[in-house]
Chains A and B, each alone.
Chain A
Amino acid sequence: MLRYVLNRVALGLVSLLLLSMMIFVAAQVLPGNPGRIVLGREATPNAVEQFNHALGVDRPLPVRYADWLSDAVRGDFGANYTDGRAVTDDLVPALQRSLFLAVYAFILCIPISILAGVIAALRRGRPTDRAITVTGLSLAVIPEFVLGAILVTLLGPAFLNWFPGIAGALIDASFVTKVDSLFMPALALALVLFGYIARMARAGTMEALDADFTRTATLKGLKQRQVMVRHVLRNGLLPTIAVISTQVGYLFGGIVAIEKLFGYPGIGFLTVTSAQIKNFPMLLACVLVIGVIYFVATLAGDLLTAALNPRVRLARQS
């Protein structure tokens, strides 16, 4: 198991390295000259050149990458092109905001998705099953920002006025205000995940329902409730729980569009904004941090799956 973990960590680090190279190169080839962006269109070429020299962007690409990487691994992502403030000054609070939103989305999503999956499995082939499956599939294929826009239109100030239309930075806001303001973005993210988690829960539950141990438990006279709780759910939901952890990475992908839509300055908002205004240091830092989150979440999911499923663990060991 340790070897497996070490292998995965090594592979993950290589993936992150490749990711960082790709985004670094991509950021350099995008049109836009940092000196020109900062000093403006009237600045003389000489001033722009001096500025770029001070910044080091006139050095060879590999040298710049090596410098950036050595700083980045120490947590120093440089300074914003636009205002010279340290990237980490904005990145850390943004990451905290995004994590809050992600946790909120999971809290909304997981109980409902699992419950829907179990109900669908219990009513296999009936209209309830079909309704849950079709709804889940439909929600899974609609992009987060479309769902977000629909929610704003329906639940926001223009129609029902149940929730605030945007989230904003929520500086010094109370917990209740945060929960209220972030309900719609969290719901938009949760709805996309609903279909996938519900389907996993349905499949796992059905497999457990068909299993010999369930038949044995029923034949030995246990009540249906006991069979469900002690045997079906305990066995059927284990893979679902493992799968959920792999969805953290997916969730952070969806957060990019949702945060922008709801004006919530988390890491997704920062990614889009910095790409729009060519604030490369921030863009690189955001993409790398999202990459790390994705890697850690996927690794955790795989480890959990392996830990919960001896067949996977043993197959990997062999």
Chain B
Amino acid sequence: MRYPNEEIENYRRGAGELENELIDEYRAGTLTRKELIQRGSVLGMSIPLLGLLGGTAERAFAAPMAVGQRGGRIRIGTASIDASLEPPLLQTLAAISVTQISGEQLVYADKNAVLRPRLATSWKPSRGGRSWTFQIRRGVRFHDGKPMTADDVVATFRRLLGPDSQAQSSYKGVIDSVRKVGPNAVRFDLEAPNGLFPYLTGQMTYQSIILPRSYKMPTDLSKPGEFTSKMNGTGPFRLKENRGPGGISWEANPTYWGGRPALDEVDMQILDDQARVTALQSGQIDLAVQVTYEGARQLQRAGKKVLPIRVANHRYLNMNVTKEPFNDVRVRQAIALALDRPGLARGLWGQYAEVGNDSPMWPGYPYTAKVPQRKRDLERARALLRAAGKENLKVTLTCYRGFEMADYAQRVSQALRQIGIDCDVKVFTSVQYFDGVSFGANGKLAPWLATDFGIVDYGGRPVPTTYLNAGLKSGGVWNSARYKSKAFDRILANFIGAPDLAGQRKYAKQLQTQLLKDTPVIYAYFYNFIAATGANVRGYVPGGMADINLRGVTIR
């Protein structure tokens, strides 16, 4: 057996520049242990090695699943499946929650944003983070018994890089090409250096479930899609029956690469928000995938296990910077200054939210800098409006009916009245709001993007690349603020390409400052993803994107 230092030094000799810099940073005391593990996992350093560096032995995640009490069936309540279940077409939370039970990505970001191996066993950057090579796990089989290979991984990503892919928000302008570079190795060449790239191959790009290369996108609606009817993934549970609105059931995959799951069966029921809460309270389900703040309070009173997970979930309140009256930065700043952020967070989510500061840099990210918090200042807001000559404004704020969004919109409207802005609220259904194309595609723009002043939800991602690239970068596919700033784009490129945490911190601070100055979007609060279970469920950790991870979950 080697001594820890010998092990580390041996590793350093074969490691690249980025890994050695990280170790030096940690030893110099500029990184905490948590930051070391988080950042090291991105660079593909193994968890045991990071544990060794951090002074404690970390449990290897990819080892066979933790086994408590074996057997049993878990009953899950989730929302109506309102869109396609085919992985390349995934776009709604309910569909995401279903598909991640049978499907898997290359990596998995845990609740602390530490990357864990899944279908990739390790990953390494080269060319200064411009290329990333993933070693693909051997011995993995799809549910139909066929082996999963590097060819399947390449085919999956090439499909996702195609023009009709729903993964554009992650991959557009990021991946240049993907190819097989060895029997079990796949290399991604990127358009620019990207120190956070491995996250994009995990569950935050929920479409990146590895599928057989023979998989075909659905072209004929008279037949169920391949995944909908068979769910031929590599995950711990394989499809037993899809009863549509009657629910879906799965059975344990006995040949799962991580070991047979502890649960024998999974039974999913389609239930509305309140119905999920009532069902859990009555003991008719064991797990509610997501509950509202009100639901969480109700379940807490009933003695159920409420499981909030602190993630970067937020509401994006855009102002169209190219159009009156929002083309005047003073108007945007005045609107931002009218909001009582702590009051909004507390009123809408209670203890399950934290105050935002008008950038998507969530306080939980290790690189988020401390910049002065924007606070309500009605006098200054009125003065800005006076200076802009926009004292009697009339605006319409749009949102869709989902969770607290309509309530949030009403509160914003009331706040704006205090500075003399007459704000109407227009509430869409989710189907109406998302009916259309994103920026960059030809066709009718979806109302959530076409709006000049609107609210939309962003799921919790372990890194902010999608929020920044899709939502704020010039020409971003979800940039409904039409924000176009060369300074911001330059800082963003530097942030994403930064090889170390110090660099990320430096550029994150610049991003935050720039966004506070320009205020194209209001990020008033970040809220927890809240799941709930009965007392009989052990080991469940909710995923911030509504992904259901049942590995290691047991039921009594």
Contact = CB atoms under 8 A, between A and B. Distances in A.
Contact of A94 (B163, B169, B219, B245): B245
Contacts of A174: none
Interface residues of B, number: 60
Interface in A69-89: 78-85, 89
B392 interface: no
Contact of B243 (A40, A93, A261): A93
Interface stretch (A107-115, A160-168, A205-213, A289-297): A160-168
B168 A166 contact: no
B244 A164 contact: no
B278 A157 contact: yes
Contact of A82 (B83, B168, B434): B83
A156 B278 contact: yes
Nearest to A279: B82
Given A82-B83, A169-B246, A44 B228 contact: no
Nearest to B446: A41
Interface stretch (A132-140, A196-204, A233-241, A270-278): A270-278
Given A90-B246, A168-B284, A40 B84 contact: yes
Given A41-B166, A42-B164, A93-B243, A169 B269 contact: yes
Contacts of A38: 83-84, 89, 218, 221
Given A54-B219, A169-B243, A36 B84 contact: no
B282 interface: yes
B81 interface: yes
Interface stretch (A17-25, A45-53, A59-67): A45-53
B81 A157 contact: no
Given A32-B435, A157-B281, A168-B279, A85 B219 contact: no
B284 A166 contact: yes
B302 interface: yes
A252 interface: no
Nearest to A34: B221
Interface stretch (B126-134, B255-263, B356-364, B436-444): B436-444
B421 interface: no
Interface string B157-196: 0000001111111000000000000000000000000000
Contact of A45 (B165, B247, B278, B442): B442
Given A36-B437, A47-B163, A171-B247, A83 B278 contact: no
A31 interface: yes
B327 interface: no
A277 B431 CA distance: 6
Contacts of B80: 273, 276-277
Contacts of B165: 42
A55 interface: yes
Given A31-B435, A54-B221, A171-B246, A44 B164 contact: yes
B281 A158 contact: yes
Given A31-B432, A42-B438, A273-B80, A168 B225 contact: no
A75 B36 CA distance: 62
Nearest to B241: A171
B322 to A, nearest CB: 21
A38 to B, nearest CB: 5
Given A166-B271, A270-B245, A84 B225 contact: yes
Contacts of B166: 40-43
A49 B244 CA distance: 27
A39 interface: yes
A156 B302 CA distance: 12
Interface in B216-255: 218-225, 228-229, 242-247, 249
A293 to B, nearest CB: 19
Contacts of A44: 163-164, 441-442
B493 interface: no
A143 interface: no
Contacts of B457: none
Contacts of B242: 83, 85
Interface in B72-88: 80-85
Contacts of A27: none
Interface string B269-282: 11110010011011
B429 interface: yes
Task: Give the residue among A45, A262, A270, A277 with the most B Cβ atoms within 10 A.
Answer: A277
Interface residues of A, number: 55
B298 interface: yes
B275 A263 contact: yes
A90 B244 contact: yes
Contacts, number: 183
A54 B223 CA distance: 12
Contacts of B432: 31-32
A244 to B, nearest CB: 30
Nearest to A50: B219
A47 B298 contact: no
Contacts of A152: 278
Contacts of B279: 164-166, 168, 263
Nearest to A161: B282
B474 interface: no
B435 A36 contact: yes
A33 interface: yes
Interface in A254-278: 260-263, 265, 269-270, 273, 276-278
Contacts of A39: 84, 89, 164
Contacts of A166: 271, 275, 278-279, 282, 284
Task: Give the residue among A79, A83, A89 with the most B Cβ atoms within 10 A.
Answer: A83
A45 B246 contact: no
Contacts of A94: 245-246
Interface in A132-186: 152, 156-158, 161, 164-166, 168-169, 171, 181
Contacts of A161: 282
Contacts of A82: 81-85
B269 A263 contact: yes
Contacts of B298: 158
A41 B168 CA distance: 10
Task: Give the residue among A32, A82, A152, A157 with the most B Cβ atoms within 10 A.
Answer: A82
B441 A84 contact: no
A37 interface: yes
B510 interface: no
Contacts of A83: 81, 84-85, 224-225, 228, 242, 244
B162 to A, nearest CB: 9
A100 to B, nearest CB: 13
B220 A54 contact: yes
B477 interface: yes
29 contacts: A36-B437, A38-B221, A40-B91, A41-B166, A41-B436, A42-B168, A42-B438, A43-B441, A44-B164, A48-B443, A82-B83, A82-B85, A83-B242, A84-B224, A90-B244, A93-B246, A158-B281, A158-B298, A161-B282, A165-B279, A166-B275, A166-B282, A171-B243, A171-B246, A260-B272, A263-B269, A263-B271, A263-B275, A277-B80
Q: Which 8 A-B pairs have the closest CB atoms?
A: A165-B278, A263-B275, A84-B224, A157-B281, A90-B244, A164-B282, A277-B82, A265-B245
Given A79-B222, A83-B244, A277-B80, 14 more contacts: A42-B168, A42-B437, A42-B438, A89-B244, A90-B243, A156-B282, A158-B278, A165-B278, A169-B243, A169-B245, A169-B246, A171-B243, A273-B245, A278-B431
